[in-house]
Chains A and B, each alone.
Chain A
């Protein structure tokens, strides 16, 4: 019998339940499947089900990928001074980015991406340049047993500013694997805003890994929304390399049915005077399963770090569960760190209070959910995106 490891060769073994990092997110079902990358020619078509622009009304530059391959005619690239924004397949010479993160050497998933990577975004923002609109990457998986390996590279030079949206979707009958990596480095005083949205139908194993390097006084702000997905693993790794960096990263997930969502985050403070603020909120419906693992390192030299982490989970239905674990390792003495991690139910007192005023159970829960998500969602800078995400959540959960 052919299995995945016969098709995609690697030196590293696939993760098993024995590894702490993968204990609650087994991938044995994926390993027993036979996937292949899409070898068809790009025909200019996209999908009848899904529009190339997934967020109605959103004014953004756009890079559209289908099964890992760039589609030029559906994309809309910026032409602006001090901005290089193009598919990596078109980058040449000294500009060709060199991925510096070590993910390919430590993880099977990373090695597969390294070996089989396809196209992706190449974005470079020059000194003090602020791009006027967000850059939206839309990746569609369409087909049975498809494996895609997108890979994105972002560099923001000193004082520059850019907002990137990574949106992945797939059609109803699709299956396979999405294995995407994004590497970004943010120069002193530069700002990168990143929104990652997974809204996938069908049965996709979605692995994504963001590796962010922050230099002195840079700002990074990210939202990770798992709007829909059969099996999703979001990995975010932020390394603060210079003093005075600011990192804000929030996430929300509301899996239902037998979906699985895993959020692994790492915040690594290696220099002084950095602040980080992390807020992840989840509501587990149906028989869904979830994982939250939030690592915060404060290295010996990272004095006066201020790190905040909160993860709040509601298990809405009996059959659902989540395994949540904060991991703080603090090696500096002059730091402020706080963290909170809770797994609970809907607040029955609040629910009764709302109902006692005539609001039915469903509407009352919707009010509570909206309030619960507000802190995560309200900080998304782009109104259309915020509204689209809430709209999908609402439709999915019938509020």
Chain B
């Protein structure tokens, strides 16, 4: 589904990604861990099409389509979804209007008419109960005045509404209390399917107790320096990142 080859990216004069390779097949869930500042969010932003990040080398393909050629909105319509590490507050734009516009943008892209009001509401109901998002939050301005945890739930709510092909979750677990972590994980698990793939960025093994990854990768200095199965996460939890850095330097 997703092929990333030799990806290099920079912001201003900072080289942040230095030859990153990753392949994700349909149905798979890949966890990406790594020290602060290693480039995890940068990878997520580059995948989603943030203009501030300049790709200087490499390629990214989604089901054979060159993603790097597309605008952020077109990538989303092709099925890429990024759950932000820091979701943005947009005063004055209602959450529901926002989602309706997004759903209809995708439908237009697929040659379908706008969604019927009744169908949209049914979907909203279904998806908000999936992540137990309070009805009041649903109706408010996008993320405005939401707590950290509520913002994260709202990301997964949006993901459920948009039914993307490739879901990139950037530290969705940070800021969640224990119950919320369980709820959000349940939501993510419910969305797992053989046609959908996930990249889950996290610092904590505990998320991976709920959302069990097929692969775990360590990102360091802008590239994947170690990959393994779900046991790798346990090993990292136990030993930290130093041993990997030592392996690298050896």
Residues on A facing B (Cβ under 8 Å): 347-350, 352-361, 363-364, 367-368, 370-372, 374-375
Contacts and interface: CB of A to CB of B under 8 A. Distances in A.
A356 B82 contact: yes
Contacts of B142: 353
B90 A355 contact: no
B76 A357 contact: yes
Contacts of A354: 90, 93, 98
B72 A368 contact: no
A364 B73 contact: yes
A37 B12 CA distance: 59
A358 B106 contact: yes
B97 interface: yes
Contacts of A350: 88, 90
A320 B88 CA distance: 27
Given A358-B109, A368-B90, 14 more contacts: A350-B90, A353-B84, A353-B87, A353-B142, A355-B72, A356-B72, A357-B73, A357-B76, A357-B81, A359-B101, A361-B73, A363-B101, A367-B101, A371-B141
B50 A352 contact: yes
Given A371-B90, A371-B92, A374-B92, A355 B158 contact: no
Interface residues of B, number: 33
A350 B98 CA distance: 12
26 contacts: A352-B51, A353-B88, A354-B90, A354-B93, A355-B71, A355-B73, A355-B76, A356-B72, A356-B81, A356-B82, A356-B84, A357-B73, A357-B99, A358-B73, A358-B77, A358-B105, A358-B106, A359-B73, A359-B76, A359-B101, A363-B105, A367-B90, A368-B90, A370-B92, A371-B141, A375-B92
Contacts of A358: 73, 76-77, 102, 105-106, 109, 162
B222 interface: no
Contacts of A363: 101, 105
A383 to B, nearest CB: 19
Nearest to B82: A356
B39 interface: no
A350 to B, nearest CB: 5
Nearest to A375: B92
A126 B226 CA distance: 84
Contact of B162 (A352, A357, A370, A372): A357
Interface of B: 48-52, 71-77, 81-82, 84, 87-88, 90-93, 97-99, 101-102, 105-106, 109, 141-142, 158, 162
Contacts of B77: 358
Contacts of B109: 358
Nearest to B99: A357
Contacts of A361: 71, 73
A358 B90 CA distance: 16
Given A355-B71, A355-B72, A360-B71, A372 B92 contact: yes
A355 B74 CA distance: 8
A356 B82 CA distance: 7
A352 B93 contact: no
B98 A371 contact: no
B90 A359 contact: no
In this complex, the member of A347, A348, A368, A371 whose beta carbon has the largest number of chain B beta carbons within 10 angstroms is A371
The 7 closest A-B pairs by CB, nearest first: A371-B92, A358-B76, A357-B102, A355-B72, A353-B88, A358-B105, A355-B73
Contacts of B162: 357-358
B98 A367 contact: yes
A372 B92 CA distance: 7
A250 B107 CA distance: 38
A372 B91 CA distance: 8
Contacts of A352: 50-51, 72, 88
